[in-house]
């Protein structure tokens, strides 16, 4: 398959300053639905949790700011910026913020969508 110069490359800046957590719980915002994936930011204050849940698609989780504990099958791992974790679809997991944290979740949907950008992005 040959490459192409058609398509789109987007740069998102300031993601760690985009959201503020709510007083009693974290805040999540989808920032883009794109070809094959969607990207959601999760902002948590220290001590807040995103209680046990699952995704219908595989996900990649990356901490952009702070430190969180990700618990899967009763085992917790501390994640800090620079680390990523891949979770298969329907796998129950929980996120607990040890410090104020920004977490990026990339849902690998496989869908072929026209991009829907929810926050300002610069095109490359």
pLDDT tens for each residue of the chain, 124 residues long: 788 888 777 788 888 888 898 988 999 999 988 888 999 999 999 999 999 999 999 999 999 999 999 999 999 999 999 999 999 999 999 999 999 999 999 999 987 766 677 776 776 6
- Please give the CATH superfamily to which domain 30-117 belongs: Jelly Rolls (2.60.120.10)
pLDDT of residue 15: 87
Burial class (CB in 10 A: 0-12, 13-18, 19+), 98: middle
Provide the pLDDT for residue 87: 97
Does the pTM of the predicted model rise above 0.75? yes
Return the pLDDT at 115: 67
Please tell me the predicted confidence (pLDDT) of residue 11: 81
The domain limits of the chain are 30-117
Distance CA 67, CA 48 (A): 12
The answer to whether 26 and 43 are in contact (CB under 8 A) is: yes
What pLDDT does residue 113 have? Answer: 66
Distance CA 57, CA 42 (A): 17
């Amino acid at each position: 398959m040959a490459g192409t110069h058609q398509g789109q490359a987007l740069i998102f800046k300031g993601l760690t300053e985009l959201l503020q957590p709510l007083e009693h719980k974290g805040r999540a915002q989808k920032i883009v639905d794109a070809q094959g994936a969607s990207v959601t930011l999760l902002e948590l204050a220290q001590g807040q949790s995103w209680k046990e849940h699952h995704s219908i698609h595989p996900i990649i989780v990356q901490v952009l700011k702070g430190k969180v504990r990700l618990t899967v099958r009763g085992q917790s791992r501390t994640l800090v910026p620079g680390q990523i974790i891949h979770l298969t679809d329907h796998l129950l997991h929980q996120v607990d913020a040890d410090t104020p944290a920004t977490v990026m979740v990339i849902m690998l949907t496989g869908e072929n969508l026209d991009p829907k950008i929810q926050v300002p992005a610069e095109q490359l």
